[in-house]
């Protein structure tokens, strides 16, 4: 049992550093200046980072045929190559002046693809170790990816405190290349151990996982730690960086304690509790008495294993209430999935929701600049922190919906999160810094929530067996939407730009039309989510 909690902590660490593309807005303006790019070229780089997801299926295939620890190291090595070569190109002046744009574009695609490898391993590990609490465990672990921009921002502000903006841009690329590789090397032995344990369990060794109607103490502890971490991130991001330089170190130390030290305490406490319970079990066995639910727990634990070692969802029909649906997940392969109308509705729901939110966040640096706001890093950290909280929302819905008389489908939950995002885009039409902060927070919150809900929605609609390939097909909408909506925004930006300042645009006119289009499409996505909900009224 303690090993499973250790795996969840490892997934938290991996997700915390895997969102390397989320800090792109923090240095995009400097990158544009260093490489003398146009706004259209800069937007193509933002698209390139998302375009790496087109090749995400390779990570799913690798995870199915290679050890997970090796898949993890391959992914982090790909990221090191993509970001590392970009760092070298920006550092060497003679290379920078002669570097063709297509080379930077390809390296960005490679770097963006590395994220898919790390995410795929995290998803598979979490589903394998917590098959009866998929949404809860996935929500807790993936929420930390929303914190990546905050973590990288704090590291850069400390390491490059007295450096220029261009030096900080290089710092982001350097950290993006080496930090994921370091963390992946640290957790690789644990991933290998977990994979071996899963293999031995599938061959008849049994599973130690048991399900309870009551939320386990481990989930409660990690959930509380996550809430404290998110609150700390939001408060420090909202207040910005203090005039006192030492506060940067304080913020970095604080986030390090909350992300690294506190979560690791949960497996340690669970290990101690497990040893105590084992001693009590031995004592009870000697006197011939056993807990009433022990045999039932072992039976339920063994029921979640299938013949080939993959863990699948199961339903205990004996506990089913009268009139309640028997939620048996149907396994659907990629070919059949592409033929279903539900897939295409779901595809466009994701595109008009989370993908548009990501396009906004990718353009945040230019949006902030066009409004004459200088605190780009603060707003990027703010969006990252609220994205972190957004990814926690499905956990809360999962916990309370299991106790409610009526439980919405996950498509319905996505519709609930897309509605406020629609309003946020129209609030951006108001020329006010407070509205900019509020809208950025709402968009970050909704984007994080939809991204987290989507992981379980794929499982709910098409099953868990082919999740790796199915979900990587679904997220192809991200590079497609990023290209279409981002290019549109870049063209409108250039049209409103000044010819005397290399096409640079200042004022509300730069993104006004883009906000209207994005808000309208988000409204359409909300309606599509409601249609998907009506077609699949499954319980959470």
pLDDT digits (tens, 9 = 90+) for 433-464: 889 889 999 999 999 889 888 877 887 788 76
Asked whether residue 245 carries a pLDDT value surpassing 60, the answer given is no
pLDDT value of residue 526: 94
Lowest mean pLDDT among 76-80, 270-274, 483-487: 270-274
pLDDT bucket at 508, cuts 50 / 70 / 90: confident
Asked whether residue 295 carries a pLDDT value surpassing 70, the answer given is no
Mean pLDDT of 27-34: 81
Could you say which DSSP state residue 259 is in? I
Lowest mean pLDDT among 1-5, 53-57, 327-331: 327-331
Range among 95-109, 234-248, 491-505 rated most confident: 95-109
Q: In this structure, what is the dihedral angle of CA atoms 296, 302, 303, 305, given to the nearest 10 degrees? A: 160
pLDDT in tens, 165-179: 788 888 999 999 999
Higher pLDDT, 285 or 393: 393
HSE, side-chain direction, 13 A CA sphere, residue 203: 6
Is 212 exposed, middle or buried, given 0-12, 13-18 or 19+ CB atoms closer than 10 A?
Answer: exposed
Q: How far apart are CA 116 and CA 473, in angstroms?
A: 12
Mean pLDDT of 7-27: 88
pLDDT value of residue 203: 46
Which residues partner with 311 through β-bridges?
305
pLDDT value of residue 280: 63
Asked whether residue 274 carries a pLDDT value surpassing 90, the answer given is no
Percent of the chain at pLDDT > 90 equals 21
pLDDT value of residue 127: 82
Range among 37-41, 239-243, 344-348 rated most confident: 344-348
The answer to whether the Cα torsion of 335, 339, 343, 347 is positive or negative is: positive
pLDDT value of residue 540: 40
Asked whether residue 53 carries a pLDDT value surpassing 90, the answer given is no
Q: How far apart are CA 106 and CA 454, in angstroms?
A: 28
Radius of gyration, alpha carbons of the chain = 23
Structure tokens that stand for 290 in this block: 């056993």
Report how far apart, in Å, the C-alpha atoms of 362 and of each of 24, 45, 358, 448 are: 7, 10, 6, 14
Which residues partner with 305 through β-bridges?
311
Higher pLDDT, 275 or 527: 527
pLDDT value of residue 310: 36
Asked whether residue 97 carries a pLDDT value surpassing 80, the answer given is no
Lowest mean pLDDT among 100-104, 199-203, 325-329: 325-329
């Amino acid at each position: 049992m303690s090993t499973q909690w250790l795996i969840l902590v490892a997934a938290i660490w991996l997700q915390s550093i895997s969102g390397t593309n989320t800090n792109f807005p923090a240095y995009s303006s400097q990158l544009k200046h260093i490489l003398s790019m146009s706004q259209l070229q800069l937007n193509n780089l933002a698209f390139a980072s998302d375009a790496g997801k087109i090749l995400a299926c390779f990570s799913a295939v690798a995870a199915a045929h290679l050890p997970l620890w090796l898949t993890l190291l391959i992914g982090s090595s790909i990221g090191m190559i993509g970001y590392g070569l970009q760092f070298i190109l920006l550092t060497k002046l003679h290379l920078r002046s002669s570097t063709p744009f297509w080379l930077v574009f390809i390296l960005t695609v490679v770097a963006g693809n590395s994220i898919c490898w790390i995410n795929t391993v995290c998803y598979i590990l979490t589903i394998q170790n917590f098959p009866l609490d998929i949404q809860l465990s996935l929500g807790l672990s993936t929420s930390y990816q929303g914190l990546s921009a905050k973590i990288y921002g704090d590291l850069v502000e400390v390491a490059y405190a007295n450096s220029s903006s261009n030096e900080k841009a290089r710092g982001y690329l350097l950290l993006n290349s080496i930090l994921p590789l370091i963390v992946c090397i640290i957790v690789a032995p644990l991933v290998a151990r977990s994979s071996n344990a899963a293999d031995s369990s599938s061959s008849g060794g049994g599973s130690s996982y048991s399900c309870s109607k009551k939320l386990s103490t481990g989930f409660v502890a990690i959930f509380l730690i996550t809430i404290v971490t998110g609150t700390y991130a939001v408060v420090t991001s909202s207040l910005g960086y203090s005039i006192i330089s030492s506060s940067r170190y304080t913020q970095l130390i604080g986030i390090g304690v909350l992300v690294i030290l506190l979560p690791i305490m949960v497996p340690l406490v669970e290990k101690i509790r497990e040893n105590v319970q084992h001693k009590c079990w031995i004592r009870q066995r000697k006197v011939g008495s056993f807990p009433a639910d022990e045999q039932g727990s072992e039976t339920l634990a063994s029921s979640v294993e299938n013949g080939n070692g993959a863990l699948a969802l199961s339903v205990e029909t004996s506990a089913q209430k009268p009139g309640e649906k028997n939620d048996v997940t149907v396994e659907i392969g990629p070919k059949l999935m592409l033929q279903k109308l539900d897939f295409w509705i779901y595809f466009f729901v994701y595109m008009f929701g989370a993908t548009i939110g990501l396009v906004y966040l990718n353009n945040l640096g230019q949006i902030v600049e066009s409004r004459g706001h200088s605190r780009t890093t603060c707003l990027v950290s703010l969006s990252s922190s609220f994205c972190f909280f957004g990814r926690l929302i499905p956990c809360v819905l999962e916990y309370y919906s299991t106790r409610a008389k009526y439980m919405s489908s996950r498509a319905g939950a996505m519709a609930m999160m897309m509605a406020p995002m629609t309003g946020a885009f129209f609030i951006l039409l108001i020329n006010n810094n407070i509205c900019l902060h509020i809208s950025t927070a709402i968009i970050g919150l909704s984007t994080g929530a939809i991204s987290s809900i989507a992981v379980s929605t794929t499982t709910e609609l098409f099953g868990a067996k082919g999740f790796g390939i199915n979900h990587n097909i679904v997220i192809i909408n991200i590079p497609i939407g990023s290209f279409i909506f981002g290019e549109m925004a870049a063209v409108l930006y250039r049209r409103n730009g000044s010819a005397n300042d290399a096409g640079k645009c200042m004022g509300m006119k730069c993104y006004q039309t883009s906000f209207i289009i994005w808000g309208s499409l988000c409204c359409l996505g909300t309606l599509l989510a409601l249609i998907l909900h009506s077609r699949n009224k499954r319980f959470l």
